[in-house]
Amino acid sequence: MSLMPAIVNGISIGAIYGLIAMGLTLIFGIMRVINFAQGALLMFSMMISYGIWTITGVNPYILIIIVGPIMFCFGYIVEVTMIRPVLKAQSDVREPLSVLLLTASFAVVLENLALMIFGGNYRMAQSSFSDKTYSVGDVFLSAPRLYGLIIALVVSLLFYIFLKKTEIGRQLRATGQDRNTAALMGINAEKTFAIAFGLGTALLSVAGLVLLPFYYVHPTVGEVFMTRAFIVVILGGLGSVPGALVGGIIIGLIETVGAQFMTASITSVLIYLVFLIVLFVKPSGLFGSPFEW
Amino acid sequence: MKKVLAVTLIFCMVFVFSACGNSSKNSGDEIVIGNLLPLSGTAASLGKIGKQARDMAVEEINEAGGIKSMGGAKIKMIYADSKGDSAEGVTQTEKLITQDEVQLITGCYQSGVAMASTEVSERYGIPYFVPVPSDDQITARDFKYVFRLAEKTSWRNRDQVKFIEDLAKQTGTDIKTWAIVYESSSWGQGALTALKKYIPEAGYKIVLEEAYNTGTTDLTPVVLKVKEAKPDVILMVAYVSEAALMTNSFIEQGVNPKVFIGTSGGFADPTYFDLVGNNCEYFYDISTWEPDVNRKYSEEVNKKFAEKYGYNMNAEAVKAYSAMYVIADALERAGSTDPDEICKAMAETKLTEGPQQCYSSEISFDETGQMINAPLVISQFRKVDGVMSRVTVWPKEEARTGWEPVFPYPGVGNGPEDK
């Protein structure tokens, strides 16, 4: 039995898990806020992308330059109008619980709003390349998955460089390490938070667009990916960008390769098992900093 | 913090009061029927079409003078949202019975919800009419108040095997091995049990039984495993989201068996074709009704539905629609809303005339409450004038005139319609 098809397909879906988790890990790493609305925001961005795609009919990947900024602004506004006031009221708490509840309820609102406006039907953006498949030997990989893998890798790399090399990236990291000290050094922590949330949301829009040509759009699509994203983030290390990508690929591989040896419905048990082992051996996750906890 | 708390409390109160607000009692000129449907969640689209079909039937019945033996009483429907979840279904059934005080319940899409919620109604002694869920167990528990219009899952599987046997013989195709891909909840497991009986009985071998969880992110792992097993027949049990992902992945991965066959559910969902495009060409599916099926009233009812809501009915909608006529007939004969009277009338049902014949020419129930001889047909997904459609191909007497099944599977774009 050849495992190559499973490995290749596992990596391709795993990279997308990683991309979804990246926004979550960024927001947590910098704001110490667990964003329960991550799945709903993914769904929301997929719906916007689907809407624009139906009207214009352009290649979904080109839409990144339109939907990315829209979602950045959306995330920025959500942070300023909703999260910031609550965060301020709890500024003396390290991990503010009410923000967590706020994001969870925001997710419920978004999902039901989508159900009201969009209805309960499943839709898919069937593009010209949706049915195309590349094959090498017995390894088949559909075009949208291959492009998705490439885009996920490129975006992760760009984002990593952005965090390491640019001034805003440095400010983001500094705020993440110690928001008070960062503020003393003249960094506007509030603005940095809003940027972080906006960036986290914009990253999601990329994940959404990558999914669009081969995955369905539905008000519950966020829930499907949400649990995966949480496991990926904790496996890779909370707040670590490379950790999210590697964690995602690991989950994708376990899921796909594991299914070749056991019933697919049991692979989720395997995922949690690996997850538990990692937590036992290295509680901070694969790439997390051990000093954080 | 106080403000947040206050706002939350107000919201809670609003919800509680609005929940109390819509409870209504049975008055003299109105018969209230409780309906449990998945109006939100992953099966919301199926819940919606079920609700529309019921509303259309109730509208017709009320327009025709309501229930005459009760002084022309009108039927009023109360809908409760099961969210497709068994626990929620139990809560909502309890609410329908205790708060809304309904004398009769109908509905459900998922078998799991039906299994759990019928236990509640049985405890209260309220008749529960189940038009759609097909799990064998629903009518196998010696319940007194449960009636089912749908076929049993095992009958569907029996006819799937029979169909393949029949076609293999007709076309001289060599079929030996089967792979079964099924969703891991009550419905899928019921199907598996039946298939494990009928497939070996017909002399075939099951080479792979693969379960997956509903709401899973990716079905490529399953598809790769099926590909490796190289079966002659791939039989799929899935709701619409997974049915679509599975179909697309099978084609992407170049899997090429002799037959792809679905087990209704997601494959019969009206949105399925939008999700898979041409990928489903030459797949087979089993159901109890098709828009093109050769049955009395079938065309008219579907035409009216399509004009009203903008799309065709599916088998579930037809069953939901017919169910309201069966209920109306039972109420007519019972002449009261007493649960036991309704039950007695329901058990004596023998309907041979009326619009519900779009589903079956004769409707009657056995002592377990199961509809006798629920009709089954096989359709193939074909391009009719360039548009993907369900074409009824088996059994011959109910098939669309002029269409023969394409057997074995030629691959997308390699069949007679593409030349």
For B211, the closest of A133, A224, A264 (CB atoms) is: A264
Q: Do A1 and B228 touch (CB under 8 A)?
A: yes
- At residue B60, the pLDDT reads 94
Size of interface A-B (CB pairs under 8 A): 119
Determine the distance from the C-alpha atom of residue B328 to the mean position of all C-alpha atoms in its chain, rounded to a whole number: 21
Q: Does the structure show a pLDDT above 90 at B207?
A: yes
Residue-wise pLDDT for B139-180, tens only, equals 999 999 999 999 888 899 999 999 999 999 999 999 999 999
Do the domains B154-287+376-418 and B16-151+297-358 match in fold? yes
Find all residues with CB under 8 Å of B107, minimum gap 6, and list them. B34, B35, B36, B37, B50, B82, B130, B131
Residue A7: other Cβ atoms inside 10 A: 16
Assign B16 a pLDDT band (cuts: 50, 70, 90): very low
Decide: residue A139, CB within 10 A, 0-12 exposed, 13-18 middle, 19+ buried.
middle
Residue-wise pLDDT for A135-193, tens only, equals 888 888 989 999 999 999 999 999 999 999 999 999 998 888 888 888 898 999 889 99
- At residue A196, the pLDDT reads 93
Q: Does the structure show a pLDDT above 90 at A224?
A: no
Cα distance between the two ends of chain A: 43
pTM of the model: 0.79
Shortest Cα–Cα distance, A17 to chain B (Å): 10
Assign A293 a pLDDT band (cuts: 50, 70, 90): very low
Shortest Cα–Cα distance, A54 to chain B (Å): 13
Three-class SS of chain A: CCCHHHHHHHHHHHHHHHHHHHHHHHHHHHHCCCCCCHHHHHHHHHHHHHHHHHHHCCCCCCCHHHHHHHHHHHHHHHHHHHHHHHHHHCCCCCCCHHHHHHHHHHHHHHHHHHHHHHCCCCEECCCCCCCCEEEECCEEEEHHHHHHHHHHHHHHHHHHHHHHHCHHHHHHHHHHHCHHHHHHCCCCHHHHHHHHHHHHHHHHHHHHHHHCCCCEECCCHHHHHHHHHHHHHHHHCCCCHHHHHHHHHHHHHHHHHHCCCCCHHHHHHHHHHHHHHHHHHCCCCCCCCHHHC
Asked if A214 has any chain B CB less than 8 Å from its own CB, the reply is: yes
**Fold exhibited by the domain A4-292:** ABC transporter involved in vitamin B12 uptake, BtuC (1.10.3470)
Which residues from chain B sit within 8 angstroms of residue A133, using beta carbons?
Answer: 252-254
Asked if B1 has any chain A CB less than 8 Å from its own CB, the reply is: yes
For A264, the closest of B40, B212, B251 (CB atoms) is: B212
Residue-wise pLDDT for B242-297, tens only, equals 999 999 999 989 999 999 999 988 898 878 998 998 899 999 999 888 888 888 88
Q: Do A260 and B241 touch (CB under 8 A)?
A: no
Position with higher pLDDT, B128 vs B17: B128
Q: Do A13 and B217 touch (CB under 8 A)?
A: yes
Mean pLDDT score, B341-354: 91
What are the strands, taking DSSP E only, across B108-203? 128-130, 146-148, 177-183
What is the C-alpha to C-alpha distance for residues B135 and A100, in angstroms, rounded to an integer? 40
What is the C-alpha to C-alpha distance for residues B279 and B39, in angstroms, rounded to an integer? 29
Which residues from chain B sit within 8 angstroms of residue A112, using beta carbons?
Answer: 40
Assign B321 a pLDDT band (cuts: 50, 70, 90): very high
Q: Do B228 and A120 touch (CB under 8 A)?
A: no
Question: ipTM score here?
Answer: 0.86
Asked if B216 has any chain A CB less than 8 Å from its own CB, the reply is: yes
Out of 2.40.40.20, 3.40.50.2300, 1.10.3470.10, 3.30.2270.10, the CATH code matching B16-151+297-358 is: 3.40.50.2300
Residue-wise pLDDT for B114-126, tens only, equals 999 999 999 999 9
Q: Do A131 and B220 touch (CB under 8 A)?
A: no
Q: Do B275 and A122 touch (CB under 8 A)?
A: yes
Q: Does the structure show a pLDDT above 70 at B11?
A: no
Position with higher pLDDT, A45 vs B40: A45
All structural domains of chain B with their residue ranges: 16-151+297-358, 154-287+376-418
Residue-wise pLDDT for A73-127, tens only, equals 999 999 999 999 988 887 777 667 888 899 999 999 999 999 888 887 888 887 7
For A13, the closest of B220, B241, B271 (CB atoms) is: B220
SS3 B30: strand
Assign B46 a pLDDT band (cuts: 50, 70, 90): confident
Going by their DSSP bridges, the two strands B128-130 and B105-107 should be labelled as parallel
Determine the distance from the C-alpha atom of residue A99 to the mean position of all C-alpha atoms in its chain, rounded to a whole number: 19
Whole-number Cα distances in Å, B52 to B63, B128, B323: 16, 20, 13
- At residue B110, the pLDDT reads 87
DSSP string, B241-285: HHHHHHHHHHHHTT---SEEEE-SGGGG-TTHHHHHGGGGTT-EE
Q: Do A140 and B253 touch (CB under 8 A)?
A: yes
Shortest Cα–Cα distance, B67 to chain A (Å): 34
What is the C-alpha to C-alpha distance for residues A167 and B238, in angstroms, rounded to an integer? 50
Q: Does the structure show a pLDDT above 80 at B18?
A: no
Which residues from chain B sit within 8 angstroms of residue A265, using beta carbons?
Answer: 184, 211-213, 216
Residue A286 C-beta-side C-alpha neighbours within 13 Å: 18
Give me the residue label for tokens 């080109």. A62
- At residue B237, the pLDDT reads 94
Q: Do A264 and B248 touch (CB under 8 A)?
A: no
Give me the residue label for tokens 């290749």. A8
Asked if A5 has any chain B CB less than 8 Å from its own CB, the reply is: yes
Assign B95 a pLDDT band (cuts: 50, 70, 90): very high
What is the C-alpha to C-alpha distance for residues A94 and A87, in angstroms, rounded to an integer? 10
Q: Does the structure show a pLDDT above 50 at A279?
A: yes
Which residues from chain A sit within 8 angstroms of residue B279, using beta carbons?
Answer: 131
Which residues from chain A sit within 8 angstroms of residue B208, using beta carbons?
Answer: none
What is the C-alpha to C-alpha distance for residues A10 and B160, in angstroms, rounded to an integer? 33
Q: Do A264 and B222 touch (CB under 8 A)?
A: yes
- Let me know if domain B154-287+376-418 sits in CATH 3.40.50.300: no
